[in-house]
Amino acid sequence: MPLYHKLGKVPHKRHTIFEKEDGSLHYEELFGTIGFDGMSSLLYHLHRPTMVREVGKSVDVSPKAVVEYNIKSRLLKGFEVPPQDDYLDSRNIVLFNADVNIGLAAPKKSMTGYFYKNADADELLFIHKGSGTLKTMLGDISFEYGDYILIPRGMIYQIHFDTEDNRLFITESYHPIYTPKRYRNWFGQHLEHSPFCERDFKLPQNLNPIDKKGDFLMKIKKQGQLHELIYASHPFDVVGWDGYNYPYAFSIHNFEPITGRVHQPPPVHQTFETSAFVVCSFVPRLYDYHPKAIPAPYNHSNIDSDEVLYYVDGDFMSRKNIDQGYISLHPAGIPHGPHPGTYEASIGKSKTEELAVMVDTFRPLKLTQEALNLDDGKYYKSWLE
């Protein structure tokens, strides 16, 4: 996140005395990534952030492969994931490899009895249904339908939902998630041809430090295990911070589509990148304007990547029998393309109203039992005439 941000009170100089009103010291914490080489923020706590009162049970939450080697195109009916009260219990990983977990969630209740930290991965939450507030030690971010929420690894957070009808598409990345580098200059600023810019980001606000001691349950995901720890002070006790490492949100509705005279390749839809996969946003847009253009995508071979498409809303012009919350998986090794009839039917059309999120991974994905529970079982035959 190449954008400096600051909230609350910080001392004039880093690593210097920062006194409270009673003359005692605030406690400085460097919150960084990639050792001391990546993005970081400096936080100032009312209490030591290191006070662990107790280490409790650990539960294995790592995904288990039921299909290790997949060559079959799949269609998962995501809204068939049953809602659950608890946020963490509601998360179902359906596809994964050594770089990324892709999951679905339908949480009904806000997180109130515990705090959560993913020490393994950056989390990218796409809000398909619902609204609410992401609460972190660095401030609050309000979210709604269509928002991506990027939560850096190690960030302590709670999510408060406004209603019980919530649907999330979740990507957990073991590599840092950035905006595409081709859309940034050498200083990190987004360029004029970028389909979005810093003005579109929702940054943390409303920093309200909580000065409490007691027993605070922290659930920490590390090495695929969910550990329970009891902290001796409230984790949201930060009075001020500044830097580059923090959560932020971005609405898919603020992605400005790139169009051309003929059909544009998928990278024009790219929104986020890592060294192991990319995330793209398909949004309502005008079609290609060459007089003989075929707006539907051409058939293409997935040789180097598995393609995952999460269907959000609208009528996806190259697919038949697609509904909200469906996930298509087109695996590397075989070609895929528009369904029979959609190629021809797209000719002469002027625009599309589709809304979808795509994740292209550079290593093959494995399927969990949760994925097979949602699989329609026949999608791979849907190109037969």
CATH number, position 346 = 2.60.120.10
What confidence score (pLDDT) does residue 295 get? 87
What's the rounded Cα separation, in Å, for the pair 219 and 115? 6
Q: Do the domain assignments include residue 314?
A: yes
8 Å CB contact between 21 and 194: no
Residue 56 included in any domain = no
HEC sequence for 25-60: ECEEEEEECCCCCCCEEEEEECCCCCCEEEEEEEEE
Residue-number span of the structural domain to which 330 is assigned: 257-381
| Amino acid type, 50 | T
pTM of the predicted model, to two decimals? 0.96
Burial environment of residue 277 by CB neighbours within 10 A (0 to 12, 13 to 18, 19 or more): buried
Rounded CA separation 174/97 (Å): 10
Task: With respect to residue 339, please indicate whether it lies within any of the assigned structural domains.
Answer: yes
DSSP string, 257-285: ----SSPPPGGGGEEEE-SSEEEEEE--E
Residues near 89 by Cβ (< 8 Å), separated by ≥ 6? none
The pLDDT score that the predictor gives to residue 1 is 59
Determine, yes or no, domain membership for 48: no
Residue range 84-119, pLDDT digits in tens: 999 999 999 999 999 999 999 999 999 999 999 999
Domain assignment of residue 139, yes or no: no
Is residue 103 domain-resident? Answer: no
> 333: phi > 0 → left, psi -120 to 50 → alpha, else beta; which?
left
Q: CA distances (Å), 356 to each of 135, 159, 214, 378, in order? A: 26, 23, 44, 22
The amino acid sitting at 293 is A
**Cβ contact 9:174 at 8 Å:** no
Residue partners of 160: CB distance under 8 A and separation at least 6: 110, 111, 112, 132, 133, 135
Q: How many domains would you assign to the chain?
A: 1
Structural domain includes residue 273 = yes
Of 376, 294, 265, residue with least CA distance to 329: 376
Residue 296's pLDDT band (cuts 50, 70, 90): confident
In sequence order, which residues have a C-beta less than 8 Å from that of residue 140 and are 6 or more positions away? 133, 134, 204, 205, 206
**298 located within any domain:** yes
The amino acid at 140: D
pLDDT tens digits, one per residue of 32-87: 988 888 899 999 999 999 999 999 999 999 999 999 999 999 999 999 999 999 99
